[in-house]
Chain A
Amino acid sequence: MSMGWILAAALFLPLFPLSLAFNRLVASLPPGLAQALAVLALPQCGLGLLRLAPPVSALPVAVRHWGMAWAVLSAFLYAFRTLSAREIGVWTRLLLSSGLALAWLGWWNGTPLPVLEVLVFGWTWPAAIMLWLVGALVRRLGGAYAGLQGGIVRVMPRMAASLTLAVLALAATPVFPAFFATWRTFSPLLINWVPFLLPLLFFWGWASARLFQDLLFGRYRGETVPDLSRGSALLMNLLLLASLILNFYPNGVG
């Protein structure tokens, strides 16, 4: 039964291969608010299920090490796959799956659940904002493909600024909670694990730079479209800044 709880949690807190179902479920929802709410809520459900699972210290050490290795592989797989994603919704889901796999790494390593909650919030918060912005882009341009119509800074400066901030937050850029939460997950690990984890930072940075390059640079060739409203942009950026509060809760908000 204990493995049942863990498998059920992996369905909501994505871990390969069950993450395929998670991503398919999110993608099946209408773009925008629905997807944003889904990525906020589902991983928390996963954490809730992990509360029901037996304490990780009760599991054999070999199982824990295999679990940690699997989490690292899952994070790698998704980070690597993010490099070639051009649809921004797909890009967001893949990067989120990579980041959330670190919660599994923390869990197998015995990190307390309140700390993992902060980690999961740190990753899902910007992802939710990204998916909400993807919905807004789809409504304006008919799709949210990087490289299809570059140079959105000129026509939609507020949209470009909000997307830039959200991508930076999602790619674990310092000052945003995903960075500090990831640091806290890495720090208590056995140092031998760290060399395998660090390339993740490189892949996240590479993926976000590719997205910026295709989205922000170049001449916009599409029709004139309205920018994000002032209020929406303000709300998005305030939400992102509000996420910084999580940095003050290194031991969890509980």
Chain B
Amino acid sequence: MERFAVLVPVLPVVSAVLILLCLRRHRRWAARVSVGSLMLALAGAAALLVHYLITGRAAVVDAHGVFGSLWLDPLSLVLWVFVSGISLIVHIYSVRYMIEEPGYSRFFALLDLMTAVILFMVSAANLLTLVVAWFLVGVILYFLLGHDHERPAAGRYAFWTQITYRFGDLPLWLAALILVHCYHTLSLPVIFARIQSLPTRAFWGMPVTEVTGFLLALAAFARSAQFPLHVWLPYTMDGPTPVSALMHAGIVNAGGFLFNRFAPVFEHAGWSLHWAFAVGLVTAVTGSGLMLMQNDVKRSLGYSTMGQMGFMVMECGLGAFPLAVFHLIAHGFFKASLFLGSGDVIGDARAHDDVPPDPIYTSVVERQPAKPSRLPWLVAASLTVLVPVLVLSLSHFFVAEHLFYEQGVVVLLFFGWVTGAQALFAAHKMSKQNPWRLMIGILASFVVVVIGYTLISHYFSQFLYPNEHESLMLYQAASIHRVSFDALVLVLAAIFVGGWTLTFFADSLELGRNLGGRWRALYLGFYALLSRELYVADVYERVSETLLQWSRRLNVWLRWC
């Protein structure tokens, strides 16, 4: 069975070659071949996953060389099904969406190549294959984003993406070369086995796992749009919508994949995980904050993805690696459906310029309560704060009690509590004629979602990491000193409670209108900072202009020779 596995990533390559060589003028056939090959790839990936579930045996398909070996472990197989599934949806959507675009056949060939490269990347069994596939994703994405070559904006933002990806490739290259230098092989399974047998090996005076963990995390940050390497993501909307969907649903998740693939390295790289947690947290807050300020649907979705990616990296930083994979899959399907539906939303808004009389819209956009009837304040506050704590704690306690004492799980539960409380608070503000009915409905949904999520994530974790010792090692690597941890939780709690209090008073006392003097200037300055997206893009532009000026001067001095 494993011998045929190579067909899964090769099928889209064959389709791309066939389209480029023979079907450039036969648009319908190009689309049919492309969709057909993806269907076969998805079927093959699903069959291999079922085969693994039956036999429980991971395999390495050796290419008998330094390049092209595949590793059929649970991570690869799950991601094969996910990637080929998302790609198939995008392919089918593109058949009609792109029909009037020039370069229709080329578009499908590039989509096929992109899919093939991602499939190779997630299943690479040796470092060179992984680095090459990682590199090629950036190259092919550049041409997909710049598909409409008559729009200079498409070229400009494809260029930003390309530059950020190239920057992120460098730490991956260095990490790969360090691993090869220290463990004398390109094979990933062998490298991981040697790390387990000698995890304390030093390099440049530091543990080799910490050095490579740091570099791998940096590569993941660039690929998953972590602050301040995020600028390319919200602006890639000038590419075709199917490419946006594929990128936000699949390609941008590569950071989470990289963390999971190199989990044996991160088991011994606690500082890298702490760093990932901090960067992920900053990215989640920044992305979500900037999302709220956008007036463009697609850019708002871009910042939403940035926030989600921040949360995914944060999960990795907490040691919850399988949860990050579960998150990336769930987010992938969710975001693909939003992107592929965004055209309809925009079309509807153009066709009907009157705002629909929707109570949620009235509440969120016009900031007016839909109905004056609400639950008593104390009851609502108690439900908002207590219910998420009880539901989250009990569900996790019954499913995996031993994990309940890990710091990473506690922090995730804390964030779950904050999110749940926010959802209930929002529901309280949108109260209707029968507020109790609404609250009970939302509570019931919350309970179902939390229990479902807990159960699925638990069994998914067992599937991805059958050796539970490995999961525990990751949680322990992500742990910090008890006192520091307690202080961190207190600080986070203070920030969130302070934020809620500020929001409450700002709303009820209309602080925004009554601010005066220095506070108003500070408020406006902060608003300007956010509306310019923290000036990150401006800084990059200034730095690159300065470098280009120096390059020009050198060329003039040396007479262009």
Contact = CB atoms under 8 A, between A and B. Distances in A.
A176 B352 CA distance: 52
A70 interface: no
Interface stretch (A51-59, A116-124, A209-217, A224-232): A209-217
B170 A202 contact: yes
Query: How many B residues touch the partner, as a band?
Result: 35 or more
Given A173-B135, A199-B170, A202-B166, A81 B155 contact: no
B181 interface: yes
B152 interface: yes
A194 B174 contact: yes
A30 interface: no
Contact of B561 (A23, A175, A183, A198): A23
A81 B146 CA distance: 25
A202 B135 CA distance: 11
Interface in A200-253: 201-202, 205-206, 209-210, 212-213, 216-219
Contacts of B142: 209, 212
A40 interface: no
Mostly, the B contact residues are helix
Contacts of B135: 173-174
B154 interface: yes
B100 to A, nearest CB: 16
B521 to A, nearest CB: 39
Interface in B128-150: 128, 131-132, 135-136, 139, 142, 146, 149-150
A154 B166 CA distance: 28
Nearest to B549: A84
B27 to A, nearest CB: 16
Given A80-B554, A168-B139, A209-B142, A90 B150 contact: no
B554 A213 contact: no
A83 B560 CA distance: 12
B118 to A, nearest CB: 14
A213 B136 contact: no
Given A216-B155, A217-B151, A186 B177 contact: yes
B150 A173 contact: no
A8 B360 CA distance: 78
A85 B555 contact: yes
Interface string B184-211: 0000000000000000000000000000
B551 interface: yes
A250 B497 CA distance: 62
A63 B382 CA distance: 76
Interface string B171-184: 00110011011000
Contacts of B181: 191
Contact of B180 (A82, A187, A213, A216): A187
Contact of A24 (B131, B132, B156, B561): B561
B558 interface: yes
B98 interface: no
B561 A206 contact: no
A20 B561 contact: yes
Nearest to B548: A84
Given A174-B136, A191-B177, A218-B152, A81 B163 contact: no
Contacts of A37: none
Interface in B517-561: 547-548, 550-552, 554-555, 558-561
Given A186-B177, A198-B174, A199-B170, 15 more contacts: A19-B561, A81-B554, A83-B547, A84-B555, A85-B555, A174-B135, A175-B132, A191-B177, A198-B170, A201-B173, A205-B162, A205-B169, A210-B159, A218-B152, A218-B155
Interface of B: 128, 131-132, 135-136, 139, 142, 146, 149-152, 154-156, 158-159, 162-163, 166-167, 169-170, 173-174, 177-178, 180-181, 547-548, 550-552, 554-555, 558-561
